[in-house]
């Protein structure tokens, strides 16, 4: 049963207008948090999500920000703290996937992937930590491709997600004196608008014979952001139906 365990808490989710990000926004709001989220190119979806949360008695704020821009990301963190008075939970969810085999992959695509999938996580952690009081929660959304690349054309994406594993370990140690936990959630194939076409293929690769549900990832994030998870930090945890088992 969901409880209002985050009543009085403030959260920021990057890339929160759709997919896994929107699921996390909905769950944290349902749990009582005031939730800000960023979007880069879907203002209609962002506004729709704000209205949905407000119609259910929650508080939400959408912020246009490109996670590839350190300045825009820092501004989003600052605006969240200004609007709601503090920041307790930061979820770095925004990410992109540009496929291509290593022998033909362009440097431009490589730099963009690193900027959004890796540098943005660093910038977000740094900015959020500066706004947080002791006991804050930081959750990075990685991918099980950090462990199992599996298919051709995913080398750079896999590399960016593997980089988050090391970043989270070090950040957890750095922020431990302030009791701020830092963890990395690594979803496997998850049912979203973008991945629905691969549902049948996923059934052949995943021991549980189905894709994950966005709500399952969101509930995992909610747990890691809770007081109950205060002794978990520096961890990279898969939620993948046994895909990498």
Determine which one of 105, 157, 223, 243 is catalytic. 157
Instruction: Establish whether 243 is a catalytic residue.
Output: no
Residue 1: what pLDDT? 45
CA-to-CA distance for 56 and 53, rounded, in angstroms?
Answer: 5
- Cβ neighbours, 10 Å, residue 245: 10
pLDDT value at position 204? 86
- 3-class DSSP string for 172-226: HHHHHHHCCEEEEEEECCEECCCCHHHHHHHHHHCCCCCCEEHHHHHHHHHHHCC
Determine which helix (DSSP H) or strand (DSSP E) holds 55, and give its type and residue range.
Answer: helix 43-55
Q: Is-contact 95 117, C-beta < 8 A?
A: yes
pLDDT at 38: 98
Each residue's pLDDT, cut to its tens digit, for the chain (245 residues) gives 455 689 999 999 999 999 999 999 999 999 999 999 999 988 999 999 999 999 999 999 999 999 999 999 999 999 999 999 999 999 999 999 999 999 999 999 999 999 999 999 999 999 999 999 999 999 999 999 999 998 899 999 999 999 999 999 999 999 999 999 999 999 999 998 767 667 787 778 899 999 999 999 999 999 999 999 999 999 999 999 999 99
| Res 193: pLDDT | 73
Domain borders along the chain are 10-239
Q: Which CATH superfamily is domain 10-239 in?
A: NAD(P)-binding Rossmann-like Domain (3.40.50.720)
C-alpha pair distances (Å), 26 with each of 13, 17, 177, 209, 217? 11, 10, 31, 26, 12
Closest of 134, 166, 150 to residue 235, by C-alpha: 166
Two tokens, residue 112: 């963009």
For 1-37, give the DSSP string. ----TTTT-EEEETT-SSHHHHHHHHHHHHTT-EEEE
Nearest to 11, CA basis, from 55, 105, 63, 77: 77
Around Cβ 176, how many Cβ atoms within 10 Å?
13
Q: What is the model's pLDDT at position 171?
A: 98
């Amino acid at each position: 049963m969901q409880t209002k365990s985050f009543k009085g808490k403030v959260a920021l989710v990057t890339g929160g207008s759709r997919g896994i990000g929107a699921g996390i926004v909905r769950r944290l709001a349902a749990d009582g948090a005031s939730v800000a989220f960023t979007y880069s190119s879907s203002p209609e979806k962002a506004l729709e999500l704000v209205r949905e949360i407000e119609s259910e008695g929650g508080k939400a704020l959408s912020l246009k920000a490109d996670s590839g821009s350190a300045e825009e990301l820092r501004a989003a963190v600052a605006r969240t703290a200004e609007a709601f008075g503090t920041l307790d939970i930061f979820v770095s969810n925004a990410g992109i996937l540009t496929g291509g085999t290593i022998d033909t992959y362009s440097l431009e695509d490589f730099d963009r992937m690193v900027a959004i999938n890796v540098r943005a996580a660093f910038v977000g952690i740094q900015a959020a930590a500066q706004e947080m009081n002791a006991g804050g929660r930081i959750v990075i959304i990685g991918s099980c491709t950090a462990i199992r690349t599996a298919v051709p054309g995913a080398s750079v994406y896999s590399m960016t997600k593997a980089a988050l594993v090391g970043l989270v370990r070090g950040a957890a140690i750095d922020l431990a004196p302030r009791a701020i936990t830092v963890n990395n959630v690594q979803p496997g194939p998850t049912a979203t608008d973008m991945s629905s076409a691969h549902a049948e293929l996923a059934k052949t690769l995943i021991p549980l014979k189905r894709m994950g549900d966005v709500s399952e990832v969101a509930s995992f994030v909610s747990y890691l952001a809770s007081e109950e998870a205060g002794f978990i930090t520096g961890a990279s945890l898969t939620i993948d139906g046994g895909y990498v088992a």
